[in-house]
Amino acid sequence: MKTLKLFCVVVVISLFTGFTGNAQTADVTIVVNGIKDAKGKIMIAMGDQLKPSEMKYDMVEVASTDDVTCVLKDVPVGISNLYVFQDLNENYQLDKDEKSIPVEPCFSKEKLDVKEGENKFEAKLVNVKEMIEGKK
């Protein structure tokens, strides 16, 4: 009974102080460069692919080959992964060939440290398929 009373007191105090138990979050600015075609959308995701409901997403229309800047809001502070691709045909997925090699320009970086305050990362799109074929 004493434990139940203590729990109730903690809940009431939490309600009055605004404590929500949520992890700290930050805004993350992503600058995407390496855009070769002025078409489609830049698709950006940040977080853990094993927890898709917790990932932060955004997309930006590509109007030119200039750098594209995107701000992801409320990204959890801590280690995170960044995934970016240019959806040239606007089917909302990274297209791959029969060997699972991406055929659309993409970028990924794992273990980025998202900190409180300002966070800015650069993502240079690369056409993996062209790189592989160029090495043959």
Q: What is the reported pLDDT for 130? A: 86
Burial degree of 56 (CB within 10 A; 0-12, 13-18, 19+): middle
pLDDT in tens, 52-100: 888 999 999 999 999 999 999 999 999 999 999 999 999 999 999 999 9
Q: What is the reported pLDDT for 1? A: 52
Beta strands in the chain (DSSP E): 25-33, 41-47, 56-61, 68-76, 78-87, 106-114, 119-124
Name the class of domain 22-128: mainly beta
Query: Across residues 93-110, what is the average pLDDT?
Result: 96
Q: What is the pTM of this model?
A: 0.80
Side chain identity at 22, as an amino acid letter? N
Residue with tokens 């029969």: 98
Side chain identity at 131, as an amino acid letter? M
Q: Which residue intervals of 24-90 are DSSP H helices?
A: none
Q: How does residue 136 score in pLDDT terms, banded at 50, 70 and 90?
A: low
Structural tokens at position 120: 């800015």
Q: What is the reported pLDDT for 129? A: 87
User: How far from the centroid of its chain's Cα atoms is residue 41's Cα?
Assistant: 15
Q: What is the reported pLDDT for 18? A: 44
Task: Annotate 109-121 with DSSP letters as a single string.
Answer: EEEEEE-SS-EEE
Q: What is the spatial distance between Cα 124 and Cα 106, in angstroms, rounded to a whole number?
A: 8
pLDDT, mean over the chain: 86
Pairing status of strand 68-76 against strand 106-114: unpaired
